[in-house]
Structure 1
Amino acid sequence: MKFAFIFCLLFVSFLVFPQDNNVSLASSNAANGNVQPPPELDNFINSGSVQNAPGQTLSVAEQEESILPFGASLFSHASLNQRRSANNPNYQLAPGDKVSVQLWGAVNQSAVHIVDNQYNLFIPNVGPIKLENTLASDLNGVVSQKIKQVYTDNVNIYVNLLASTPVGVLVSGGVMIPGEYAGTSNDSVLHFLKRAGGIDAARGSYRDVKIIRQGNVVQQVDLYEFLTKGRLASHSFKDGDVVLVSPRGSTITVRSDLGNTMYEFSHDTITGQQMLMLSKPDVSVSHIAVKGVRNRKPMSQYVTREAFSRLVLADGDELLFNEDLRPQVISVELSGSYLGPSYHAVSSSTKLVELLDHVEVNPEQADVSSVYIIRESVKEQQQALLEASLSRLERSVYTAPASSDGEARLRSQEAQLVAQFIERARQIEPVGKVVVSLNGKPANIRLEQSDTVVIPAKSDLVNISGEVMLPQAVVFANDASIDDYVSWAGGFTDRANQDDVVVIHANGATSVIKLSRNGWFSAASDYKLQAGDQVLILPKVDEKLMQSVKDITQIIFQIAVAANVALD
């Protein structure tokens, strides 16, 4: 019994997790445009699933549910339920139509006449007027000509089609709700398809819709002509006409950032160029992954857009449009003290010194020896490191053991305080500073997209902030010590960390100055500040109340360096 249970588990796991039989990606071939796909496309090419978002992968079933045929929105809009009130000028008159005829002058007569089953309109003293195959636009001329044969002089005539006869049209084939639906003869084929619930996405064709009258196809409609070119041929329906939606033809599925769409084509194959014209991908799409079956074997390629246009695609192929080109031109912003434009479009290989050579500054105002960069990628990295530290602190506090009830209460109070601290810390955004100026000379590093190059203004001040009584800016004094500046700011608060002082320099660099326990300087007592420096006094963590003093202190310093903030 035990072995039978194990065998069942193995059999179920084989069904649920079948082996992947897809062949590996073809080797790179520059002549055919084949290139090595980026790692994030492996899911699409090899496993049959596509990455939807960072950390989230759609299953095959979820992907199929999200794929809609091109043109599916035609039958989702409520306005299609409304019929057009205006008569179609190409409408052919039919039995039951109501026609208003008015005569004035030598003869005064006004009446509404109905077209009989023999397509005749009978007018007293005039007789029957044959209207078979007569268009609505020709009605006035045909009836007036017949009347003038009887009333030859001084008679004015006005003829108007009041209402066309309702018709019943049969809708069948690949629609959601086949059946007979009422409408008017001048309704479009879209109206009757909408009444039938629209085209069945799994079975019906958007490219082959037939209108049949008495067993003969009188018109064939390609809805793609309407979707792509705005062309929809008019048709005058008659009672008993049939709208037949043919079975769905060959299809290709396209996946992109805009969503998943299934396109239908009328032949067994279609070229990549035709597919590009039909799907109209964004100009930023540079590469296309193609997955399908050729000669009963799985096939996959990753090609450039140019090479894709020369490919021949087949029924069932799946495409993934991808932006896989590095930008050749990047935009860089200037901030601080400079002259001229604030944004510069430069080559992706441009370095910092090359840019600065083209930036005009006022040497009396700009501190060109303290240039630094604010970079988005560094900001994201600092944010990730801070979040990792906060998560580690959170785990350590909530999992700390307690040996007694009193210690458990103490740990609970500590956890509440730490939770408040973590919540505030997560709201702080790092600056993303990159220190590039050392010894007064900027390093010639390569610039990145969206970099902000900061040229600080020369300053004669030193800012003192954080845990001091009176945070303020003080005029730089060449012979003054850190202790002097703290005294000018009112001295330390009761919560101040008097052992370590953070100094943020004009070039973005950060220094931590160690002080002695009694407040006097130790080995760093001879440290001299520079004009433009910022002195940041950090808060201390009470060792009597907090178990995680080391972790919290580390995070406070981390925030001070990354965001120039003294978080209490």
Structure 2
Amino acid sequence: MNRSRTQSYWSTHHDAPFLLFRQLPALSFFFLLLAATTGFAQQPSRADQLNDEQIIEFYQRAQGSGLTEMQIEQAAMSQGYTLTDIAKMRQRMAKIRQQSNRTGQFSVDTLINRSQQGTLSQRPYALGDSLNLLRRDTIRRPYIFGASLFQGTNLTFEPNLRIATPRNYVVGPDDELVVEIYGNSTESFRLRVTPEGSVRMLNLAPIFVSGLTIEQAEQRIVGRLRQAYQGLNRPGSGTYASVTLGNIRSIRVTMVGEVVVPGTYTLSSLSTAFNALYLSGGPNPETGSFRDIQVIRNNRVIRTIDLYDYLLRADKKDDIRLLDQDVIRVNDYGVRVEMVGQVKRPAIYEVKPGETLKNVLNFAGGFTDRAYTFSITLRRNTPRELRISTITQDQIATFIPQSGDKYTTGEILNRYENRIQVSGAVMRPGDYALGNEITTVRSLISRAEGLRKDAFLNRAILYRERENTDLEAIPFDVGRLMRNETEDIPLLRQDSVHIYSVRDLREPYYVSIEGAVNRPDTIPFVTNLTVTDLIALSGGFQEGATPTRIEVARRIREDTTKVTGAETVQVFQFAIDRELNLQPADARFILKPFDVVYVRTSPRYALQQNVSVYGEVMHPGNYAIESRSERISDMLRRVGGLKSGAFLPGARFSRRGNVIATDLGAILDDPGVPGNLLLEVGDSILIPKRPETVSIQGAVLNPSTISYIEGLSFKDYVTQAGGFTDNARQKRAYVVYANGLKDRTKRFLFFRKYPKIEPGSRVIVPFEPLNDQRPLTPGERIGLISVLGTMTITLTTVIINLVRLF
């Protein structure tokens, strides 16, 4: 529900009792639904105890019972539900609708309409439906200024019932007055104004207060109380009394004219004209006026409300307090015009007599920053067709709008009326204004604070826009122009002057340094830079640098076709000490662009390169390679010998993570063997303890690791692993020794010689290949040879016999 209103069904439908009688079962169902679903009939706060699902179900079933919103709210009022309860229910429904529309999920309206299919056309026009229609219309049609004031779910205009009693509040029947007596005597009375307009207390005569302000009523009541309390509210009496407003009465206000939902509404006596307008949905955006709303009291117009005062200036002077039986009439709109384009609030606005287009422009918030303000385009209706007019700036203040006018404000063009540009080698490049002091190229360069020192004076270019917007290039000699040796060039709008820099016309200059310096780098070329300067910029020499062998490689810039010999660069050599002092003959050597300086490293200088030796040696650890000719045998002597538990046949030599099979025992016995390799950085040597196991892997029945037993042969160890499998390739079996060396099974005629087993060995028995092409056995080979021999002898005999016959 979108409004907190209670519309009196009895005042607008004289046959309501009969209708309610016919719908008694539906009403019974409605109130049973309230009690069963929510259970809040006897609790002080009812709407707050409902969740969203309960509210949707409640509204669906209530609407499905055939009752209109008016009947539902009237019935709820008769059962003791307050305006606050109904208002909260409406706000909750509005919030649910808003959330469902934003997320695109199954909406409340869809749920409700499903239960009302086939009966929607018979239902009376309800407030919720009207607002939904208005929202849909505003999406398709231009926005009517002011309509959103009465469509917002976060704006209720509910009267504040917790404020102090207004001193000009007029007391009427059903108001409750609270009389407090304090001081020497204390007493409290709550007096309800009777329909006759009087109140009674104690044994005093009735006091007529209807039609009096709260201040006048207080004076009259205190005056009557002085009959019981002498000197009441007088200085020195010690007894005082105050009169305030307790519960307030309800008033009935009638909304007529072009409102969304006309009718009679029951409001609180503190309600104002805006409260009533909001409860009725406000002026009908299609036909109602937002600037001619009349408040009628006793058949006399007491106030005409212009909502634009409130919308544009927050002026609530017309929001007067209503009295019982007041009538609010919303008249038809008079003149409406539409503002579109580059204004801050494009919308349809209502215009009063005497207001001009300037007033309408103020309603729209004025022009935007990009608006074309020189003229406004008008589309006006005539008795036969449309007409286009142009309104200039001078006419805006006096132009009188007519109903149906549409004013369009365009956007300024993305071009300049007096811009000229200068770029390149000037002190202040940028955009400048053509005119007065800047009319020629020379004056433009002068305004840009002149040429830079790197300006290329022999040639510059002026770009000019031709009539067909194509660009035209006009070259000129900027040096002669600035020296007044040639005629100055007049400038036109959109001209652009570009001054070249000498750096724009050449390859970027740089010099480089490589080799034994701390920060080898390439840096921009600097005039008069020497070799020592460049070495200092690169952080100086490294520790292993050879300052006496500095080379500079220089490009040959001349035409190479005229250069004799095969040289492609020129090379210069220098000797520099570590204090960066050149020899006197070389002190004046200056680097040129693209020179490359090379700093060599000492031939005998090298960083420490380590080899790791660990295991069963006397002094394991990292050892530096002493010379380029140091070998494995030399390193084994440097470690101080082997420990007693060292197993030299199992020693392993590794390089770059790979094990290189080497017999270190043979190397120690004879350093001249081929396996005595030169050492490299990162090499490692492991001398293990004597291993005590042998591993059997591959095509055996039980691959395992068993203890080494002296004297056992290859086949004995295979037997320990269960023997060969059916698909074992026995003749391909081999042994991997602890030092990485390998030995395979050898065969001589029909005999096999298996390798020797040592501690730490791994016996590997390969599997037969998975394909069907297995090798022939010896018996199969003998049979195949016999068959081939027989066939050969038979074929030979046949050929001989044939030869004899012929």
Scaled by the length of structure 2, what TM-score is found? 0.38
Report SS of the residue matched to 1:301. strand
Gaps of 5+ in 2: 1-135, 232-236, 482-488, 510-521, 527-553, 561-567, 570-592, 594-806
Question: How many Å apart are 1:72 and its aligned residue?
Answer: 2.0
Specify which structure has the bigger relative contact order, considering alpha-carbon pairs within 8 angstroms and separated by 6 or more residues: 1
The 3-state SS of whatever aligns with 2:159 is: coil
Match of 1:219 in 2: 303
Alignment match of 1:177 (pick from 261, 275, 290): 261
Pick aligned residue for 2:349 from 263, 267, 289 = 263
Q: 1:361 to 1:218 in 2, by over 3 A?
A: same
Aligned pair partner of 1:462 in 483, 507, 511: 507
| Cα distance in 2, alignment partners of residues 70 and 169 from structure 1 | 26
SS of aligned partner of 1:311: coil
Partner secondary structure for residue 288 of structure 1: strand
Among 307, 312, 319, the alignment partner of 2:400 is 312
After superposition, what is the alpha-carbon deviation per residue over 1:96-148, rounded to whole angstroms, capped at 9, x for unaligned? 22222111123210232222222223332554333233334655555445434
- Partner of residue 281 from structure 1, selected from 353, 363, 366: 366
* Corresponding residue for residue 166 of structure 1: 250
1:76 is aligned to 151
Deviation of residue 343 (structure 1)? 7.3
Give the match's secondary structure for 1:111.
Answer: strand
The alignment partner of 1:96 has SS state of coil
In structure 2, the partner of 1:235 is: 320
1:96 aligns with 2:166: no
Could you tell me how far 1:206 is from its partner in structure 2?
A: 0.7
Cα deviation, residue 348, structure 1: 7.4
Greater CA deviation, 152-161 or 306-315? 306-315
**What displacement does 1:339 show?**
5.8
Separation in 1, partners of 2:362, 2:279: 31
1:547 alignment counterpart: none
Distance 1:362 1:323, change over 3 A: closer
Residue 253 to residue 207, structure 1, CA distance change in 2 (3 Å): same
Contact 1:103 1:157 in 2 (8 A): yes
Q: Which residue of 2 aligns with 1:65?
A: 140
Residues 291 and 371 (structure 1), Cα distance of their counterparts in 2 relative to 1, 3 Å cut:
same
Distance 1:461 1:297, change over 3 A: closer
Take 1:187 and 1:286, find their aligned partners in 2: how far apart are those partners? Answer: 48
Tell me the alpha carbon deviations over residues 20-66 of structure 1, each in whole angstroms, 9 at most, x when there is no partner: xxxxxxxxxxxxxxxxxxxxxxxxxxxxxxxxxxxxxxxxx999934
Query: Are 1:198 and 2:282 counterparts?
Result: yes
Report if the CA contact (8 A) 2:175-2:248 is conserved: yes
Displacement of 1:367: 6.4
Q: Deviations over 1:313-339 (max 9, x none)?
A: 322222222356999887889887766
Confirm or deny: 8 A CA contact 2:174 2:249 kept in the other structure.
yes
Distance 1:115 1:358, change over 3 A: same
Q: Is the 8 A contact 2:171 2:214 kept in 1?
A: yes
What is the count of residue pairs matched by the alignment? 365
Rounded Cα–Cα distance in structure 2 between residues aligned with 1:263 and 1:370 = 61
State the alpha-carbon separation in 1 of the partners of residues 222 and 461 from structure 2.
Answer: 89
SS in 2 for 1:171: strand
How big is the shift at 1:202?
Answer: 1.0
- Are 1:328 and 1:347, in contact at CA under 8 Å, matched by a contact in 2? no
One-letter code of the match for 2:155? L
Counterparts of 1:81 and 1:329 in 2: how far apart (Å)? Answer: 52
Paired position in structure 1 for 2:433: 346
Q: Does 1:247 align with 2:332?
A: yes
Percent identical pairs in the alignment equals 18
Any idea what SS the aligned residue of 2:447 has? coil
Q: Looking at secondary structure, tell me which structure has more strand per residue.
A: 1
Q: Does 1:303 align with 2:401?
A: no
Distance of 2:267 and 2:472 partners within structure 1: 70
Aligned to 1:74, the other structure's residue is in SS state: helix
Instruction: Please give the alpha-carbon distance, in whole angstroms, between the structure 1 residues aligned to 2:247 and 2:559.
Output: 95
Structure with larger Rg: 2
Partner of 1:411: none
Alignment partners' CA distance in 1, 2:492 and 2:340: 35
Measure, in 1, the Cα distance between the counterparts of 2:149 and 2:405: 24
Question: Distance between the aligned counterparts of 2:422 and 2:212, measured in 1?
Answer: 74
Question: Given the two structures, how large is their TM-score scaled by the length of structure 1?
Answer: 0.51
- Distance of 2:308 and 2:350 partners within structure 1: 9
Which letter does structure 2 place at the counterpart of 1:281?
G
Deviation at 1:370, TM superposition (A): 8.1
What do the CA deviations read for 1:155-213 (whole angstroms, capped 9, x no partner)? 12222223422334332322222334343233232222222223211111111212234
**1:120 corresponds to:** 198
Q: How far apart, CA to CA, are the structure 2 residues paired with 1:370 and 1:186?
A: 85
Residue deviations 1:415-441 (CA, integer Å, cap 9, x gap): xxxxxxxxxxxxxxxxxx998775547
C-alpha separation in 1, matches of 2:422 and 2:227:
88
Aligned mates of 2:523, 2:490 — CA distance in 1: 33
Inter-CA distance 345–318: structure 2 relative to 1 (3 Å threshold):
same
1:286–1:323: 8 Å Cα contact kept in structure 2?
A: no
Name stretches of at least 5 consecutive residues in structure 1 with no aligned partner. Answer: 1-60, 383-432, 465-471, 489-530, 532-568
Question: 2-side partners of 1:88 and 1:226: how far apart?
Answer: 22
How much is the aligned-residue C-alpha RMSD, in angstroms?
Answer: 5.0
What residue number does 2:210 align with?
132
In 1, the alpha carbon distance for the partners of 2:309 and 2:433 equals 44
| CA deviation after TM superposition for structure 1 residue 302, in Å | 0.8
Farther off after superposition, 321-330 or 115-124: 321-330
After TM superposition, the structure 1 = structure 2 runs for residues 441-520 of structure 1, keeping only pairs within 5 Å, are 445-446=491-492, 448=494, 462-463=507-508, 475=525, 480=557
Residue 306 of structure 1 deviates from its aligned partner by 0.9
**Shift of residue 217, structure 1, vs aligned partner:** 3.4
SS of the counterpart of 1:227?
A: helix
In 1, Cα distance between the equivalents of 2:246 and 2:152? 29
Compared with structure 1, are the counterparts of its residues 366 and 293 closer, same or farther at alpha carbon in structure 2 (3 Å cutoff)? same
Deviations 1:279-304 (A, max 9, x none): 45328522112222456564331121
Q: d(CA) in 2 for partners of 1:359 and 1:453?
A: 12
Q: Is the contact made by 1:80 and 1:191 (CA closer than 8 Å) also made in structure 2?
A: no
Cα 1:102–1:452 change in 2 (3 A) is: farther
Give the direction of change, closer, same or farther, for the CA distance of 1:116–1:79 in structure 2 (3 Å limit): farther
Q: Structure 1 stretch 324-333 or stretch 250-259: which is displaced more? A: 324-333
Contact 1:461 1:474 in 2 (8 A): no
| Distance in 2, Cα, partners of 1:370 & 1:128 | 110
**Deviation of 1:452 (Å):** 11
Q: Distance in 1 between matches of 2:497 and 2:176?
A: 75
**Counterpart amino acid of 1:112?**
R
